[in-house]
Amino acid sequence: MKHLKIKASFVLMIAMLLFSSLSVFAQDMNEEAAEAAQSTASNINWLIAGIAILLVFIIGMVFDILSKVGDVQKKPIINWGRINANLALVFLVVGLAATVWEFMVHGKLTLFALPAASAHAQEYDNMFMITLALTGVVFVITQILLFWYTYKYKENLKRKALHYPDNHKLELIWTIIPTFVLTILVVRGLIVWNHMTSSKSENAMNIEVFGYQFAWNARYSGADNKLGRYDFRQMGVVNALGVDSTKEFAGDDIITSELHIPVNRDIYLHFRAKDVIHSAYLPHFRVQMNVVPGLPTKFSFTPTLTTNEMRVKLDNPNFDYILLCNKICGSAHYRMKMKVIVDSEEEFEKWIKQQPALTAKGTETNNAFSFKIKNSPLASN
CB 343 within 8 A of CB 262: yes
pLDDT of residue 6: 46
pLDDT (tens digit per residue) in 168-209: 998 999 899 999 999 999 998 888 888 777 756 777 889 999
Report how far residue 315's alpha carbon sits from residue 320's, in angstroms, rounded to the nearest whole number: 12
Highest mean pLDDT among 71-85, 120-134, 195-209: 120-134
Bridge partners of 259, per DSSP, are 340
* Preceding omega of 214 cis (within 30 degrees of 0): yes
pLDDT (tens digit per residue) in 320-339: 999 999 999 999 999 999 99
- Domain boundaries of the chain, sorted by first residue: 2-23+40-73, 80-155+166-198, 205-367
The stretch 212-217 carries a mean pLDDT of 92
pLDDT of residue 48: 86
pLDDT of residue 21: 54
Those residues with Cβ within 8 angstroms of residue 123's Cβ, 6 or more apart along the chain or in another chain: 192, 195, 196
Report how far residue 329's alpha carbon sits from residue 224's, in angstroms, rounded to the nearest whole number: 34
Alpha carbon separation from 138 to 96, 127, 134, 177, 238 (Å, rounded): 13, 17, 6, 12, 57
Those residues with Cβ within 8 angstroms of residue 133's Cβ, 6 or more apart along the chain or in another chain: none
Crossing angle of the two packed helices 2-31 and 37-73, in degrees rounded to 10: 170
CATH code, 205-367? 2.60.40.420
Which of 142-146, 276-280, 359-363, 376-380 is predicted with the least confidence, judged by mean pLDDT?
Answer: 376-380
